[in-house]
Structure 1
Amino acid sequence: MTAALPFSEGTVLMPWKPGPAADSAGSVFVSVTDFLAKSEPDVQQIYQLGLELGETWPVLQGAVGVWLWGRPAQLRGGSISVWDSEHDMRRFVRWPVHTRIMRTWHGKVRVAADSWQAERFDIESVWARAGKTIERPHPGAG
């Protein structure tokens, strides 16, 4: 997965983690999440949880792949995930492990998201749109 990074300095992008649907050739559903933490310890815990969730990626049904991203200086981070379908992404959101994490952090972080259907997985198009989400200030900031 190579392309010119559309993200500004200070953005950390973890390597692509392919899922079981990594060879998907049809339309895909893309989701960008953006978490804003209240403190440095919180953001460190969120990053750790994200890495742990990333380890499960190879077995998540319908997962094409994911990048985790962070902006440590802004206490922000999130994911750029690619799915076979919106249904597959929603199954992940309802997954008990994910649900438990979100309940634990409810009220402790602010979450923003963007999602869209794409005719096919094109890295440059995904990064261009995801970059717009990541580059603008978090809606909960300030």
Structure 2
Amino acid sequence: MRRTRWIAGPEPRGADPVVVAVTAFRLHRGAHLPRACLAGWRLSRLWPGLEGAVGLWLWAEPGARRIGSVSVWRSEADLRAFVRLPAHVAIMRAYRGRGELVSATLTSGAPDLWEEARSHGVEYSEPPG
């Protein structure tokens, strides 16, 4: 697995628990992987200005056609506002039907949020046959 460096948002981590959203997208076809990665990278450029965003990691497992993120938020309301963001909605629509998305959301005060997110990792169902 490859991951980006921490991409900081405008909110400090602080001592209070944060909301962590773990997402994973497995593409049906490897041919879609480069554009999907680019779409995620472009979206990450918004992070420094997103209200309630603490930070983000993007990750990829190219051989498995998997990409995803671990995003950290001040509150669930901030996460929901991001999910409704037009740029995010456009990406979700563009890739609907091109893969399988799984996600998990948790509240955490753990010092190592990456490891906490991995311990709540997302799993895929195996395709039939």
TM-score strictly above 0.5 = yes
- Unaligned stretches of 5+ in structure 2? none
Q: Distance in 1 between matches of 2:14 and 2:79?
A: 15
* Structure 1 residues 4-44: Cα deviation after superposition (integer angstroms, max 9, x where no partner): xxxxxxx0011000000034332210000000001222111
Identical aligned residues as a percent: 34
Root-mean-square deviation over aligned CA pairs: 1.6
* Structure 1 residues 23-79: Cα deviation after superposition (integer angstroms, max 9, x where no partner): 433221000000000122211111111110111110000000000011000000100
TM-score, length of structure 1 as denominator length: 0.82
What code does the residue aligned with 2:71 have?
S
- Unaligned stretches of 5+ in structure 1? 1-10
* Number of the residue aligned with 2:111: 122
Structure ranking higher in strand proportion: 2
* Number of the residue aligned with 1:108: 98
* Number of the residue aligned with 1:40: 30
* Number of the residue aligned with 2:47: 57
Q: Distance in 2 between matches of 1:133 and 1:76?
A: 17
TM-score, length of structure 2 as denominator length: 0.89
User: Larger deviation: 48-57 or 17-26?
Assistant: 17-26
Q: Distance in 1 between matches of 2:89 and 2:98?
A: 15
What code does the residue aligned with 1:29 have?
V
What code does the residue aligned with 2:111 have?
D
What code does the residue aligned with 2:27 have?
A
Alignment of structure 1 residues 47-86 onto 2, 5 Å: 47-86=37-76
Q: Distance in 1 between matches of 2:126 and 2:40?
A: 21
